[in-house]
Structure 1
């Protein structure tokens, strides 16, 4: 496309226009910004022109392989420039990207790929084998591919994200909003033309919002290949980011560095520290508030489904410690009891959101799971309460789910793997407090035979644990001959957890 045509996707101030395809916006900024740095990742720095040229060449290769409008493409690799180029390459063809974790074991990977039913899988040399069209970014692209901008195309749905289901089965969350610029992409906390720093894996929603999307509004994005607290401080000093995103585990690891290291770091460029994904320990929250200022610490409670959200700044949190904030503009929180009746402030129930309709075709969809929609209300499944001032508090992050270092882990999947052992009658997995990860996984295993000697539990179940991704593997195990489930087959994980926290302050290491 010509430079004048690309320029029409930007307004007079150089910001993206509503309705502009994301793939075309990257080309527009490549034309506008040229050699200005767009992406810093690991030891690589790519300009807008270089980033867009690589995405254009990859898009043409995908097109030659049969990928086009309306298709789906799985992206599976660690944080690297090619991950981001693959996202934009698919958008440039009108195809929906589905980024998934590269840490999945083979069975998990195959299950999710089957659910997505993609035209292609884009990965690297470590990606599991697949019968789908596979594009290995470690291999050079064919010669002769043009790096010029492609004709405009719009992907709808705009993206598909993978997540574990509450039953332990994986599910897909379909974002039906097209891959065009609009209110759902913009953020007052991340204005155009700034520098952002991302520390999380690119297949998650928050890094998508703070690393992949900023490139479509002319911002420089700095992305860590793997989180390291000292390196994070160094990147802040070198690149002076306006906005950063962290999960509480990362916040904790930075805060617990030696005082002389954290005090020497210049964090004055940070205007917004955006954190989400898990509860933040109060002492860690206070450390950050004192270190960079309460007005700069912003916590968000919400989800990929975008059914509603709450926001809370540090100064509000100090007045309402433990809260995740009040609903965003236009959203309404309704707390329901088990019978679906609304509860008054101060009473605990399931948290539901009511969000005004934003037009047809804007409601998320699931593959592999059922929604929790009740009329015009929807829920993430968490329970909590609202105080008299309208501030929301989370009582439990779902009945079963455990949040480990910002990652959602569902016990049913782990229990099913452990119960494949011939001597295991039953298993319950719970989360116990952990200063670093927020929660650590602990398995309570009902055996038919002899209990292994102390310290041998993880080895006893080694074959079963290898069926799970590393972050889903329990850190400690206890064995029992007592019954874990009642006659109805139910397990009271909240009670199991409370007993262990009360008696031992957590689980004794196995």
Structure 2
């Protein structure tokens, strides 16, 4: 028999979530991070005072408030204070450069910019901290407010030009996000990545909206994640494949020392997952506990797939779970045949209002459908397989090559942690494939990689040059800034090209 829990009805204002659960379970911990905890009663009362301070700063319906706060209970307090002030929260990376941050703030014109109390964020005038906002403010309840958008995340790392993706949904409860993430009531969710990325933000908040508890990691650590899973009793965990690989690289006896018995489902997204890694996780945690999601921040449509489905459709990112997805060829014609590649276009279910609004950009659309630039194909059963983003394509000697295929082959090598393929100028072929590789401590020789790839890729897809780096190539959410990596290497080509030639 399924246990029943009290939850707010659909369409309930998010500003009222803390008060709803504080009345039912005031002393239950809703969030913890860095050794600090926050109960529902504390969240409700403390966010009231901060919200009053935000209203004095001009926060109201239709305004954005930017939050430069790392994963912490303060970040959860700030988000709900925004809702209570009627503003849309925008979580930004405290590690942004002043140039990046200024461009985003110019677009959003936030009513306030909240920074961490320890002063770890960028040196920006006019910022405010939570204690400053709450100073001398009453913690009594406020009149309810509803922001016009429940989130205002930022994107643009792949293009170099920022844009704000303002949600098309007001700050009210919905069953859409929790359903496609498989988040149930009273979930205990372990969030392993920063909330300035959309998926961690969505999943953390959806857990809270349903009366759950979240543990926010400040920094990903492979064994530390397993330890926190058992300590916290996590039932739902967010991962990206880079994290999965680092966990799987732990000695088997270390992994076996943690039970993970509390976990109902492990979810991964944000970057391609190598087939070998997916199989190892399925063998380790069980096919029915491993899930993958494909969607954009725009949330028009998406796919999910469970491990046992994936075993029947290896390499797929799932069948369409919500919204609609089609493939179009270069002339804008729909591709209806299976196993034929095209550009992925999406739209929300018929009758649903727009799910997002860009500030600072225009969507790529065709006949009411919009594209994120992904390429892919459907199989005969309607399962989608991604190839790469059209913008990442490299033309070498007149042949179009998608880096994702080469990167996937590279990451099958047991000593390659992550890899990024970029195109660099070549006097003979116009462009050459350049491989940037992050390896395990043992390293790997170039000729070993060349031989390894030779058994997996046709000759025209082999990198011409290699480069080994020690710094991570993807961030904690699995994202890679390919243009930035390419620009850094182009800047050195005028003086020297120290990348190693493939044999």
> Same fold by TM-score, threshold 0.5 exceeded?
yes
Structure 2 residue 226 is the aligned partner of structure 1 residue 240: no
Give the aligned partner of residue 212 of structure 1.
205
Alignment match of 1:338 (pick from 307, 315, 330): 330
Structure 2 residue 70 is the aligned partner of structure 1 residue 78: yes
Tell whether the 8 Å contact from 1:446 to 1:481 is kept in structure 2 after alignment.
no
Unmatched tracts of structure 1, length 5 or more: 1-11, 403-429, 448-457, 459-469, 483-499, 506-510
Give the aligned partner of residue 58 of structure 1.
50
Give the aligned partner of residue 386 of structure 2.
394
Pair 437,147 (structure 1): closer, same or farther in 2 beyond 3 Å: farther
User: Over residues 216-258 of structure 1, what are the superposed CA-to-partner deviations in whole Å (9 max), with x where a residue is unaligned?
Assistant: 2210111111111111001111111111110111111111111
Deviation of 1:65 (Å): 2.6
Tell whether the 8 Å contact from 1:442 to 1:477 is kept in structure 2 after alignment.
no
Paired residues in the alignment total 426
Structure 2 residue 155 is the aligned partner of structure 1 residue 163: yes
Q: How does 1:126-141 map to 2 (within 5 A)?
A: 126-131=120-125, 133-137=126-130, 139=131, 141=133
User: Over residues 338-376 of structure 1, what are the superposed CA-to-partner deviations in whole Å (9 max), with x where a residue is unaligned?
Assistant: 10012221111101124323434x331112222122123
Give the aligned partner of residue 289 of structure 1.
282
Q: How does 1:277-426 map to 2 (within 5 A)?
A: 277-329=270-322, 331-343=323-335, 344-360=337-353, 362-400=354-392
Q: What SS class does the counterpart of residue 378 from structure 1 fall into?
A: strand
Tell whether the 8 Å contact from 2:70 to 2:194 is kept in structure 1 after alignment.
yes
Tell whether the 8 Å contact from 2:37 to 2:73 is kept in structure 1 after alignment.
no
TM-score, normalised on structure 1?
Answer: 0.77
Deviation of 1:186 (Å): 3.1
Structure 2 residue 180 is the aligned partner of structure 1 residue 200: no
Deviation of 1:140 (Å): 5.1
Which of 470-479 and 291-300 deviates more?
Answer: 470-479
Q: What SS class does the counterpart of residue 155 from structure 2 fall into?
A: strand
Give the aligned partner of residue 31 of structure 1.
23
TM-score, normalised on structure 2?
Answer: 0.78
User: Over residues 290-313 of structure 1, what are the superposed CA-to-partner deviations in whole Å (9 max), with x where a residue is unaligned?
Assistant: 111101111111111012101111
Tell whether the 8 Å contact from 1:443 to 1:477 is kept in structure 2 after alignment.
no
Tell whether the 8 Å contact from 2:50 to 2:134 is kept in structure 1 after alignment.
no
Which whole-Å CA distance do the structure 1 matches of 2:94 and 2:17 have between them?
Answer: 28
Alignment match of 1:250 (pick from 243, 246, 251): 243
Alignment match of 2:252 (pick from 250, 259, 281): 259
Q: How does 1:57-206 map to 2 (within 5 A)?
A: 57-124=49-116, 125-131=119-125, 133-137=126-130, 139=131, 141=133, 143-164=135-156, 167-187=159-179, 189-206=182-199
Q: Could you list the structure 1 runs, at least 4 aligned residues long, displaced by more than 6 angstroms after superposition.
A: none
Pair 106,480 (structure 1): closer, same or farther in 2 beyond 3 Å: closer
Tell whether the 8 Å contact from 1:303 to 1:380 is kept in structure 2 after alignment.
yes
Deviation of 1:332 (Å): 3.2
Tell whether the 8 Å contact from 1:158 to 1:175 is kept in structure 2 after alignment.
yes
Pair 260,358 (structure 1): closer, same or farther in 2 beyond 3 Å: farther
Which whole-Å CA distance do the structure 2 matches of 1:224 and 1:130 have between them?
Answer: 26
Tell whether the 8 Å contact from 1:275 to 1:300 is kept in structure 2 after alignment.
yes
Structure 2 residue 268 is the aligned partner of structure 1 residue 275: yes
Pair 204,349 (structure 1): closer, same or farther in 2 beyond 3 Å: same
Which whole-Å CA distance do the structure 2 matches of 1:303 and 1:371 have between them?
Answer: 12
Structure 2 residue 34 is the aligned partner of structure 1 residue 42: yes
